[in-house]
Structure 1
Amino acid sequence: MTDRKPCKVCNFTRQKSYGLVVPSLDDLKIKGCEFLGFSPGEPVTVVLEDDGTIVQDQAYFLCLPSNTKFMLLHEKETWSPGCKMDGGTAWMARDSMVLEADTVDSSSAAAHWWHLAQQLKQDLASIILMSEADLQALVDAPCPELASAMGFEEKKAEDLQETLQGVLDRREEERQSKELLQLYLKAAVKEDQQQEVPSQPSQEGAGDVEVDAVEVDSASGFMSRTLMVLKGKTSPETRLSTEELQMVVTRGTEAMEKVLGWDRRRTSALLHACEAELTGRLQQVQAVQSIRSNTQLDRVQRVEEEGVETPAQGSN
């Protein structure tokens, strides 16, 4: 039986917000519509309240941390970011932020790494779902403040940061291995082409430059950093967060062709890589959750067995 997940729902104006506990994405839609006063059976779209990522997959829903806030949208409603601190005065808040060694005050809640630390505090398996930028933010966070935010001893926070750095290093090693393989394959193909048609490689190179120069659609809905990674980085799927991967896969090949300005073959290859990376991460999370559930079940059975054996020994 699927575990029930505590979460929050709101409407697109964020004026109504409710907490509920549901076992599945479908139940979230049903109960969310009921709480928000939507008509029964009315089609709704579920998105993450903080960044608008569309949530359609049950496995992805289960991998999200507890108390994630969702937004339910009608057919003609669209997600928009909530009110944030004015950019002209944000530097004042950053400069005035003071963090004590044994507590995290309200001003520190605006720090990116603090929100990530809260996710880890709820579920350490969320490391798998984080982007490289998120992992690096936690690695660079002051160790005493990270320990305070997570309720750890400072030594344990240091160990956590070392683990996160190890995750980054492994991703970099995987990326370098892929790059070496791609360079080898590209060199082999170029050598074959030079033997057959000497002028063809230079034409292909010119085509690549022209494709890279295509302007990105400003109405794509992607963050500029995500687009920069997709267009300018090798093995971009290893650099994106799970939410960003989900967004790319959900858009589909045709939409991403327009966003990136690439041809069908190149775009399809990117989507296949993103989908494979997303599937791998979700499988890792499910494996961790399965191990955790089995461990808890073994503990319960052990306690029950000990409880049965103790009275029997007493009667002898």
Structure 2
Amino acid sequence: MSRRNDKAKKPFKILNRDRSAKKGIVVEGMEDLFNKGRTRFGYPESQKLTLVLEEDGTEIEDDEYLFSLPDNTVMVLIFDGDRWSEVNIGGGDEVDSKPQNIFTKLEEILVKLEQNPSRIALLSEQDLELLVDLDIHGSYQGFHRFSADFLKDIQKAAENHMIQKGQLRDTIGLLELYHQTNQANTKRKKT
């Protein structure tokens, strides 16, 4: 008898689509894994899902392959239409991470902004500059998951936010200069 027919259960670790949460689950098969993943990560019931190996993005399509994997294999539960990328947004279990290249950094920023666009207000000027200088028609593979409209909107928002930060910095500089001048005038009047 096959394991599937015996209703054997197997432990796996699953990550949500942006790799910000990891859950340990024991499942009887693909359907059980999808149901538990939807519940654990709060995915909508109607959302179609794809299961991929975290290490290389191999898509898992059936129970037979799922049960051939070692116990506690790490997988990513992504939405249909998403593409796996090797960027580990949540930091995961890696202790010795390699330095980020510019494309990895950009992809990490874009994934976070895709989840919550208001995070743009918290970005450093260096990160905003990366977004402003982004070649949205470039050939880097990591950006394929983002629509051109999303990239254009984020680029425009980053540019506007940089301008606003610059204006704020200039205003603060003028206020400091005014304050220094005012203090100097007050001291002169006292003497």
**TM-score tier after normalising by the smaller chain length:** 0.3 to 0.5
Higher strand share: 2
Return the structure number with greater helix share: 1
TM-score by length of 1: 0.29
Higher relative contact order (CA 8 A, sep 6+): 2
TM-score of the pair, normalised by structure 2: 0.45
